[in-house]
Structure 1
Amino acid sequence: MAMLYMPSSFPAADLEAWFKPSARSAREQALSILDRLHILASKREDDRSLSYSLIPGFQRSLRQAIEGSGTHRTFGVPASKAESGGKRLGIEFLDQHARQQWEGILFFMVSGAAGFQPGSVRMDVGPGTKKLLHAGDLVRTVHGTPKITKEGFSFVLQETNAQVWNLLIVYLKMVNDLGMSETEVLSFLFMLGSLELGQDYSTSTLSPTQLQMLDDLSAMGIVYRSSKESRTFYPTRLATTLTSDSGALPGSDIATSEKPDHKAQKKGFIIIETNYRLYAYTNSLIQIAILSLFTKLQHRFPNLVSGKLTKESVHRAVQAGITSAQIISYLTTYAHPQMQKSNPPLPPTVMDQIRLWEYEGERVEVTTGYLMREFGSEAEYRDVLGYAEALGVLVWKNDASRCFFISHVEQVAGYLKKKKESKGR
């Protein structure tokens, strides 16, 4: 940064004065990295002394980024009064939009496995977001119902900032398939992290790729755009905290008719007895859905649900890909303050029994079926695999080896026969 506005090169002798003699290797390594990244250049002066200077292109771009000058609009372009219509949305509305969209995604992930009926809670999860969750292997569709995976359960337990970045990383991996530029996608994401919450920004300077991103990110609650034709957009708290360690959605909860007790949920709300009975002081549908993944829930009150950890409920969770370590970690993280006074917070007998139930559930099970392999092409493999998955007969697959295992072969064999006959005509 000291070199950014220097009119001349920076002498190497002055640079060496900044470092201790013991840090010489670290200095040389840093200089080598900056040189390979085309950030720093070295040259010999007339007196044969060595000096350093920033690459002109990098120096110019960094100046513009810091000053907000130039035409690249690193920090976005605030909307004019004509574009915004003279009205600006409040931060409370933006937080509500972000919370509703993001928690709708989380509830979509856990609701299927938890047994919630479609439509029991208002969820606005678009097809693009669902495709993203499937691409990240966070959920899988089984008989038309989304089921959370082991990776999905780990995802749900993370902080909101980590969840957002994990989903955005999946999004980045898909940009080539979507016909988008990786550079523009990354540039736009970092720009969002520097925007001001509550300020509306113009879409006039955005590229086609970034305009497409607005629709995708709006569905996730990262930005708000009233319609595809709107000339402005608002970053939500999910966007403005992308490059910070601030909480993205403090006190988040699925919208319910009851007022959620965020303070209680933040400090822990689960009590477990040595007889495996569980009491959770919460009215959050997300938390209730997560608990139901590995607990047999029995009663629900306005601010309390009760149930029991059973062999069957833990086996069901294990079959869904959830491990005993994840269950214990979740229960420990959200243990009631009274339980947190003990070390460990959970009764040792409960933790041991959860592990034993997992071991029992991991015993080998024999499934009668048929192994499909030796496909002529990747397209043929994907086609037949998709047909088997749609029928609900797919048991296991290995994309790398182009083979999969199905429980029934009759309809799949008929499908292959028809395809062969159609090619022969």
Structure 2
Amino acid sequence: MPSVDIANPACDPATHEDDPHLLLTFLQSQSQNALTRLYQRPSSCLSVFRLLQPLQRQLVMNLLWLETAVPVSTMFAWVTREGRSVYSDSLSTLARLHILPSSPVKLALNPTFKASLRQAVTGGGSSRSFGVPVDPDRQYPAPNINTLDAYALERWETILHYMVSSGTGHYPTRPSQEVLFLLQRSGLMTNAHGGALQITSSGFQFLLHSPHAQLWELLVQYLYMVEERQMDLVDVLSFLLMLSTMELGREYSTENLTATQTAMLTDLRNYGLVWQQSPSSRRFSPSRLATTLTSSSSPLPTSQNSGTGPHGEGFIVLETNYRIYAYTDNPLQIAVLNLFVTLKSRFPNLVIGAITRESVKKALANGITADQIISYLTAHAHPQMHKNKPLLPVTVQDQIRLWELERNRVKSEEGYLYTSFASQADYEYVLNYAKQLDVVLWENPSRRSFFGSLDGHANIRGFIERRTAGNA
């Protein structure tokens, strides 16, 4: 079992984030039985521990080596008045994860979680929870780290390229059908006219996230599909968490995997998480996408990160005349810009374009909002732009929002027009009933007519029929 430094900030994605990790939110919705099975694996406990908030990890470490439970009052005495709210929230989160009891009189870790995390920290036992490394094969040598990085980057950018190229008909490489189904199921893409998939507003927001957040968004959606695919959820979770503890550049055996985990290898190859010489190979290598699943390290080579420039900097310069200068040669970044920018010139490391009414209207038609466009420009602004106060020209921001308002001036909604009432009393009686249901979209008292929403029609029609029958 590998030695693990659980206190290393480089392996700690929660150090700089206050929001709970997507996976922890998913785990909190699972049953105690499923989590207890998951906690039987030391690698799973270590990975979950890494994803906890700092105070939550501190509580776990305080209790990990104790043989007896601690009274709640004793632990509470260590908490300052200012920290009581955060302390209570931490206890609640650990209880929902079934790491601590729900209504404790005394605090003690879940015995299964405690035993497995102890084993992960000390390196004892032979559970093979961290994978089974294999010796190099002279005939089919394992790929080096650079090859694995290139492989992961190609697979991941294939997915992102397909998303940003949707609707154009020009796809550098088409992802597998399983990946396309996942993109559609997660709401990042939808069926457009003609049956082709097209990026949604959620899909564009997805492009604004870091590669690490993007990867977990897809994996959590993958977890939601496990039951209908008749896969064992605990096996799926434990394999993903096991991958996050493996060593980049090493090969591991498939012989210790369950049937569910073996079937997962096909999906993980499509996402670029694992590399195999062939689908039938009995060994695999995790890519950086997999080994950083529970780490704050970048899941892709830093120099080619699709979110920022070569050194983690922004690359966009926006002028008050709506002209954009993008200092990049990354095809994916250029494709994203093309969603809302009219590109005019392209040089080896520079793209010039302009934000126009037509380009913004095209983006709005694809479900991209004005705030999302402004957020993207802000997130990827060149360092020189940060000298400006405000960062982006106010005139450009206002105009983008005005173009959105211009498009949204008229809204259509289905419903029914009610007219030809016998008397003013009948009209007011029915109108008041419809207003109580909050389904009136428009009214004209002078013509004794009003327009009701589609959802309220059945109730209004029944009310009119009952009133007519009563009068008769």
TM-score by length of 2: 0.65
1:37 aligns with 2:128: no
C-alpha separation between the residues in 1 aligned to 2:216 and 2:344?
36
Give the one of 309, 313, 316 matched to 2:362.
316
Q: Kindly tell me: are residues 69 and 80 of structure 1, through their superposed partners in 2, closer, same or farther at Cα, counting changes over 3 Å?
A: farther
Give the one of 325, 346, 362 matched to 1:279.
325
C-alpha separation between the residues in 2 aligned to 1:330 and 1:33?
35
SS in 1 for 2:310: helix
Matching residue of 1:263: 310
Matching residue of 1:117: 170
Q: Kindly tell me: are residues 201 and 68 of structure 1, through their superposed partners in 2, closer, same or farther at Cα, counting changes over 3 Å?
A: farther
**Cα RMSD, aligned residues only:** 3.6
Deviation string for 1:356-391 (max 9, x for gaps)? 0011112336699xxxxxxxxxxxxxxxxxxxxxxx
C-alpha separation between the residues in 2 aligned to 1:32 and 1:280?
43
Deviation string for 1:92-136 (max 9, x for gaps)? 0000001000011100100124x3623xx2x25111111110101
1:223 aligns with 2:284: no
C-alpha separation between the residues in 2 aligned to 1:248 and 1:67?
27
How far is 1:347 from its partner? 1.2
1:95 aligns with 2:142: no
1:172-321 to 2 correspondences below 5 Å: 172-249=223-300, 250-252=302-304, 262-263=309-310, 266-321=312-367
Matching residue of 2:158: 104
Give the one of 133, 144, 148 matched to 2:183.
133
Instruction: Answer yes or no: is the 8 Å Cα contact 1:138–1:148 preserved in 2.
Output: yes
Matching residue of 1:351: 397
Instruction: Answer yes or no: is the 8 Å Cα contact 1:299–1:307 preserved in 2.
Output: yes
1:10 aligns with 2:60: no
Q: Kindly tell me: are residues 205 and 296 of structure 1, through their superposed partners in 2, closer, same or farther at Cα, counting changes over 3 Å?
A: same
SS in 1 for 2:304: coil
Instruction: Answer yes or no: is the 8 Å Cα contact 2:315–2:380 preserved in 1.
Output: yes
1:73 aligns with 2:125: no
Matching residue of 2:207: 156
Matching residue of 2:464: none
C-alpha separation between the residues in 1 aligned to 2:185 and 2:107?
46
How far is 1:217 from its partner? 1.0
- Give the residue type in structure 2 aligned to 1:178: R
Matching residue of 2:428: none
- Give the residue type in structure 2 aligned to 1:263: P
SS in 1 for 2:277: coil
- Give the residue type in structure 1 aligned to 2:239: F
C-alpha separation between the residues in 2 aligned to 1:355 and 1:99?
35
C-alpha separation between the residues in 2 aligned to 1:269 and 1:33?
41
**Which structure 1 segments of 5+ residues have no match?**
42-49, 255-260, 369-400, 402-425
Matched positions, count: 349
Instruction: Answer yes or no: is the 8 Å Cα contact 1:94–1:224 preserved in 2.
Output: yes
**Which structure 2 segments of 5+ residues have no match?**
1-60, 415-454, 456-472
How far is 1:2 from its partner? 6.4
SS in 2 for 1:251: helix
Q: Kindly tell me: are residues 225 and 310 of structure 1, through their superposed partners in 2, closer, same or farther at Cα, counting changes over 3 Å?
A: same
SS in 1 for 2:165: helix
C-alpha separation between the residues in 2 aligned to 1:307 and 1:367?
37
Instruction: Answer yes or no: is the 8 Å Cα contact 2:360–2:403 preserved in 1.
Output: yes
Instruction: Answer yes or no: is the 8 Å Cα contact 1:65–1:75 preserved in 2.
Output: no
1:62 aligns with 2:62: no
How far is 1:166 from its partner? 0.6
C-alpha separation between the residues in 2 aligned to 1:34 and 1:322?
39
How far is 1:278 from its partner? 1.8
C-alpha separation between the residues in 2 aligned to 1:188 and 1:331?
37
How far is 1:253 from its partner? 6.0
How far is 1:173 from its partner? 0.8
C-alpha separation between the residues in 2 aligned to 1:32 and 1:335?
36
C-alpha separation between the residues in 2 aligned to 1:60 and 1:320?
51
Deviation string for 1:283-320 (max 9, x for gaps)? 21111111111112222222222222111111111111
How far is 1:76 from its partner? 0.9
How far is 1:220 from its partner? 0.7
Q: Kindly tell me: are residues 59 and 296 of structure 1, through their superposed partners in 2, closer, same or farther at Cα, counting changes over 3 Å?
A: closer
Percent identity of the aligned residues? 42
Deviation string for 1:204-260 (max 9, x for gaps)? 100111111111011111111222111111111111111111111112268xxxxxx
C-alpha separation between the residues in 2 aligned to 1:117 and 1:55?
53
C-alpha separation between the residues in 2 aligned to 1:110 and 1:53?
49
